[in-house]
Amino acid sequence: MEKKRTNPFIIIFLSLFSLACLIPFWLVFMISVADEDWVTANGYSFWPGKFSLVAYQYLFEDSEKILRAYGVSASVTLIGVVVSLFVTSAMAYALSRKEFPLRGALSIFILITMLFSGGLLPWYLIYTRFLHVQDTLMALIIPGLIGGFNVIIMRTFFTNSIPPSLIDSSQIDGAGEFRTYFSIILPLSLPVMATIGLFTTVSYWNDWFTSLVFIQNEKLFSLQYLLTKTLMNASFLQTIANKAYSSTAQVTTPLESIRMAMAMIAIGPLVLVFPFLQKYFVKGLTVGAVKG
């Protein structure tokens, strides 16, 4: 049988769409390697008239700090995503079971956490005075472990995509709740696990505020906070230097190029991880399908 050929217009459309997605990355990279004076005079360009690696040299003056921050962010993200998926899926599975006695009360509690917040001060006091996790990796992991929105997404998936008859049949065969959860629910939930995992990965990797609030030890700074701190220091040093010199001898720090270089350094791991996560997501769509 002759195979059906793909419509060439679809190929052209997808190619143009992929190109449109790559254009912003190219622009950010070009500005990161552009000379600051040229950018100031001519604005952003897809091909600057003058190139310079001063921004990367400035960021990597102390490469040990950046490599350490990479390790901290990678460790926090990996541990946080694994534990978060387990806690979120366990709670969502319990809420999806109609026979769970606290189902309604716990659902209302989760909804309240999505609508209202206790505020920054109680949040800070709980982690510092009660849990005593300041200046530890736990301070970077615990705050992002669970979110009400993610729990509701998983609960909806469990309720609508996993037939109750499948759970009933496993229990008739002698499987307990834990065996049902680990052997049946999780393998069939790869699509939603991959989706929530992606959300959680981006959240952990981009988090800098938690380091600002809880971390004093420089060895525990996350990558995002270290880069933000570096940019603030560069801006401060330029302001002080310009005040010390006359207007005819202004000191120029490549702030715009540093911002773009920071973006390139920070986004690198996510760009490398996403294709693998997407592969498992697509695989999960087929594994999680229920055949009639």
pLDDT digits (tens, 9 = 90+) for 107-137: 899 888 888 887 888 889 999 888 888 899 9
Q: Is the pLDDT of residue 288 over 60?
A: no
Dist CA 255 CA 59 (whole Å)? 11
Classify residue 58: in a domain, yes or no. no
Q: Would residue 42 count as lying in a domain?
A: no
List, in sequence order, every residue forming a beta bridge with 34; answer none if it has no partner: 51
| Residue 195 included in any domain | yes
- Its pTM stands at 0.79
* pLDDT tens per residue across span 199-236: 898 899 989 899 999 998 888 998 888 888 877 777 76
Q: Rounded to 10 degrees, what is the CA torsion of 114, 119, 122, 124?
A: 100
Is residue 212 situated within a structural domain? yes
Q: Is residue 227 part of a domain?
A: yes
Domain that holds residue 229: 66-290
pLDDT at residue 279, as a whole number:
61
Q: 106-120, 167-181, 249-263 — which is least confidently predicted? A: 249-263
Confidence (pLDDT) at 244: 65
Three-state DSSP at 51 gives strand
* 31 within some domain: no
Is the residue at 136 inside a domain?
yes
Mean pLDDT, to the nearest integer, of 72-93? 92
Q: How many domains are contained in the chain?
A: 1
Output the domain CATH number for residue 214: 1.10.3720.10
Query: Considering only CA atoms, which of 55, 264, 285, 57 is closest in space to residue 190?
Result: 285
Res 32 pLDDT > 70? yes
**pLDDT recorded at residue 278:** 66
What are 141-171's pLDDT values in tens digits?
999 898 888 999 888 888 888 888 888 888 8
Query: Cβ–Cβ contacts within 10 Å for residue 32, how many?
Result: 23
Q: Does residue 6 lie within any of the structural domains?
A: no
Cβ-contact 222, 205 below 8 angstroms? no
Judge whether residue 254 has pLDDT over 50.
yes
